[in-house]
Structure 1
Amino acid sequence: MSTGSATQRPGSVVVFYNPDAACIERANRLAKHTCCVVVDNTPDVDRVEGLDPGVRYLPNRDNLGIATALNQGVERLLREGCRTALLFDQDSEPTLEHLEVLPALLAQWRTAGEKVAIVGPAYDDPRLGGVASFVRFRPFVLARVPAEGERPVDTDFLITSGSCLNLDCWSTVGPMEDDLFIDFVDLEWCIRAKRAGYRLVGVPWITMAHELGGEPVRVLGRTYPMHSPVRHYYLFRNAIALIGRAYVPWSWKSTELVKLPFRLIIYSMMPTARRMHVAMALRGLRDGLRGRLGRL
C-alpha cells in the first residue's frame, strides 16, 4: 500500500521512569527523525545527562502516571504545531520504517477525509509466542485478527506503545484519563475515540518488539504476562471502574468479567509472592467498587 509522503515532521512522546543509558540513546535517535518530547516521571529528578539538545525534556520530579505524562507530551507537541504523535515506552525500539509509515498513513487518510484516530503496529513478544493479533470486542471473548498481510486492520483497541495519534481529533476525543494512572489508559481512550466516530487501525506489516509486562509465568500449561503486585492493583481497580461506566461496550465488560476470576487463580499459583499478588488485586477490586481512582 502506498503511503504517500509525509508533509510534516511527526512528533513523538517518550515516558521516562528511572531511565538507563540505553533509554537516553533511544530518545536521541527519535529526535533525529521526529519532534521528540521526553516526559520524565522519575521522582526527585529534574535533569538527565546525555539527552540530545533537540529533545524537549519535561521533568515531573514525581511519578504522575502514564496518562498524565502522555497528556503533557501531546500538549507540548500541539504547541509545536505537530499533527501526529508517536507514543513510546522508554524501552521501545521502533524502526525507521515505523517512524515514517504510520504518520504518512494518517496524513493520507486525513487528506482522503477518513476519520482515523490512531494507527498502530503489530507487536512482537517472543516470550509470549511472537507477533500478537489485533483484537475486536465480542461478548465474553476477544476476537483475534492475525497481524498478517499488507492491508490495514480495523480494530477496537491498540496499545499505547508504538501507536501514532492523529492530533486533529485530540480536542474532540479528549486527553487520556489521568485518574486511571496506568492500566487500561489506552483502552479507555480508544473506546472514547470510537464513540466519537473515529476508526482505530492496525498495520500488520509494521512490527515492533515489545515486552508485555515482566517475565511471563507458566501456569497449567499456558504462558501469561506477569506484572508486579502494584500493577495488579491498578489492573483490577481500573477494570472494575470501567465495567461500571455506561459508555464502555458490554462486549468488553463481559470479557473482563470472565477474565478477572481466572486472573486471581493465576496469581494464587504464582511461584513467588503469591499472597501479595492476590492481596493487591483484591484491594484494587475493593477500591474499584468504591470509586477510588488516582495514584495508589
Structure 2
Amino acid sequence: MDLNSAAMFAQVVECGSFTQAAEALDMTKSTVSRKVADLEKHLGVRLITRSTRQLTLTQEGERFYQSCIQMLEIMSQAELEVTASQDLIRGRLNIAMPVELGQKVMGKYINAFLKEYPNVTIHLELTNRDVDLIAEGIDLYAQVGAVSDSSMVARPFHLSHRIIVASPEYLAQHDTIEHPSDLVSPHHQVKVSNVVKLPYWELTQDEQQEIVNLPYRLRVNTITSALLAVVDGLGVAMLPEFICRPHLEEGRLVQILPDWQLPAVPVSFVYPQRQLIPKRLRVFIDFMIDNFKQR
C-alpha cells in the first residue's frame, strides 16, 4: 500500500461520496471506486459499506481512516520541515467551543491569531452540545468541565468561578436567603443544562459543606438564556462570575450567599492524542493560552 491509496481513501471519507471525491481529486468516479476496492482487497477487510444513498465506514474503516489521517499529517509536517521555512504556519483548523466562551471570551483572541497568521483558515463551531472530536473531524475543543476521556490530551488554562445570583425583584417576593439551607421550595432555580454536568450545588464555607438541590421552573441550554431569565426575576441561578459582573455592578442582579464558595470549573483545550500534531495547532493553542493569561 502507498500513501496515494491512503490519501484517496481519506478523501472519499471526508467527501462522503465517490463522486465528490473524484471531483476533488480530478479523477473519474470509476477510478476512485476501483482504487478503494483494490485497497480493501490488499488489506483483506471491507472499509466502506456502500449503498445507493450514502457511504458508511465499517469499524475497520473508521480505525484505518484515523490511522491514515495521522500518517498523512506526519508526512505533511515532515515535508514542511525539510522544504519550507518553519515560520510559515498554514492550513485549516476545525475548532469547537461552548457558545458563551466563544462569544464573550475567545472570539477576540481568535481574530488576533488570524491577523498574525494569514495563511491559516479556521472553521469555528459554537455549540453547547456534546461533541465527538474524532467522528466529527474536530482538531480542538475548548472544554468547560473535567475531561474524562483518556484518549484525549487536555491543556487546562483557566478556572471558571461560579456564583449564585437572583434579581432584586425575585428576592423582594421570596423568603430571605441567609444560609444554603434556605434554598428550598418555594425557591426555584433557572437551570443551565449544557456540557457542564452539575447535578447539584456544592457550597463550602471554612470546614462546612452544604449540598443544594433546588427544583427548577425553567431549564435552558445556554448561559445567556439563563442570565436573561434570572434578570427577569424567574428564579435563582448558578452562573459564571464574569457573565454576571456587569449586571451586578448595575444592580440588575444580586449575589446570594457571597461568603459561600462553589467549586471552580476547569477550562481546557482538548485534542485527540497523536504522535505528531500539526504545527498550526500547537501554535494556535500556545497563542490562545498566552493571550488569555495576559487579559
TM-score, with length taken from structure 1: 0.27
Which structure has the bigger radius of gyration? Answer: 2
TM-score, with length taken from structure 2: 0.27
